[in-house]
Amino acid sequence: MKSLKLLVFLLVPLLTNAQIIKGVVYDNEAAVKGAKIINRTQNILTYTNDDGVFQIEAKVNDVLVINSYFHEQQFVSLAQSHFDNDIVIELKKITNELDEVEVTEVREKLFDSLNFSNTTAKQGQIAFKKRTFGSGENLQPTLDLIAVAKLIGNLFKNKNKVPDVVYVTPEDLITLFETNTYFNQKYLTTQLEIPKPYQQLFFDYLSAQQLNVTILKKENEFELVDALLIHSNAFKKILEEHTKN
């Protein structure tokens, strides 16, 4: 009898360590798809499906962390009751929702990928030779902003082409980050990690990537977030390389 009790005592923790918890994530409007569910205790990751449903391996006292774009992060400490029924998690939307962007004074250009690629490569070589990026008296990186502006501006010179595509301009980006409650100065410095002295140059760099102006519409906000992350990383690498030189 004692041996049987000892066997049960040893098996119970093993059984409770391998449980699957199921649940659904939603906000006050609909199910939240693509939300990231992390079991911080077990270091396990999963995502909600199109219906906001998820399942993840966990045990009692584990902590789940729920993340989603434009929702406040939430933590759930699991109790045994969470395993008896599907868990329901409600997320709160971040109050500084994206505003509609009114784009004015846009320019139209025809995108020639081959010419753009060749021109970019040549202008990059010129920038390195002319040392557009330099260092000040305290060995802090400095920029010849006029030279850089001319350099990026040369990417758009294509007078013999008929314009048919509208691209984002530096002025559009300035307006966006001055008027939008989400894409603001804090987003530039903390999320994208663009120092304030280099932000105008970053806008010029983004404009040189010839982003379609429709990316600034509210329904394309996720596409805009992805583009800003990708191009900010590339921009910071360019800064790093040139400031080293």
Between 105 and 72, the higher pLDDT residue: 72
Of 69, 105, 65, the C-alpha closest to 207 is 105
Q: Is the pLDDT of residue 52 over 70?
A: yes
Confidence category of residue 90, pLDDT binned at 50, 70, 90: very high
What 8-state DSSP symbol labels residue 50? T
Contact 223, 106 (CB under 8 A): no
- pTM equals 0.37
What percent of the chain has a predicted confidence (pLDDT) above 90? 36
pLDDT score recorded for residue 64: 94
Of 215, 219, 149, the C-alpha closest to 176 is 215
Confidence category of residue 55, pLDDT binned at 50, 70, 90: very high
- Per-residue three-class SS string for the chain: CHHHHHHHHHHHHHHHCCEEEEEEEECCCCECCCCEEEECCCCEEEECCCCCEEEEEECCCCEEEEECCCECCEEEECCCHHHHCCEEEECCECCCCCCCCCCCCCEEECCCHHHHHHHHHHHHHHHHHHCCEEECCCCCEEECHHHHHHHHHHHHCCCCCCCCEEECCHHHHHHHHHHCCCCCHHHHHHHCCCCHHHHHHHHHHHHHCCCEHHHHCHHHHHHHHHHHHHHHHHHHHHHHHHHHC
**Average pLDDT, integer, range 85-103:** 73
Confidence category of residue 197, pLDDT binned at 50, 70, 90: confident
3-state helix, strand, coil in the chain (%, to 5): 45, 20, 35
Q: Is the pLDDT of residue 6 over 60?
A: no
**Average pLDDT, integer, range 9-27:** 70
Q: Is the pLDDT of residue 116 over 60?
A: no
Find the range with the poorest average confidence among 23-27, 69-73, 202-206.
69-73
Between 128 and 74, the higher pLDDT residue: 74
Beta bridge partners of 106: none
pLDDT score recorded for residue 3: 53
- 152-191 pLDDT, tens digit per residue, is 666 655 545 555 789 999 999 999 998 988 899 889 999 8
Dihedral (CA of 41, 43, 47, 53) sign = negative
Contact 120, 156 (CB under 8 A): no
Q: Is the pLDDT of residue 72 over 80?
A: yes
Between 113 and 88, the higher pLDDT residue: 88
Between 219 and 139, the higher pLDDT residue: 219
Confidence category of residue 1, pLDDT binned at 50, 70, 90: low
| Separation of alpha carbons 207 and 185, rounded Å | 18
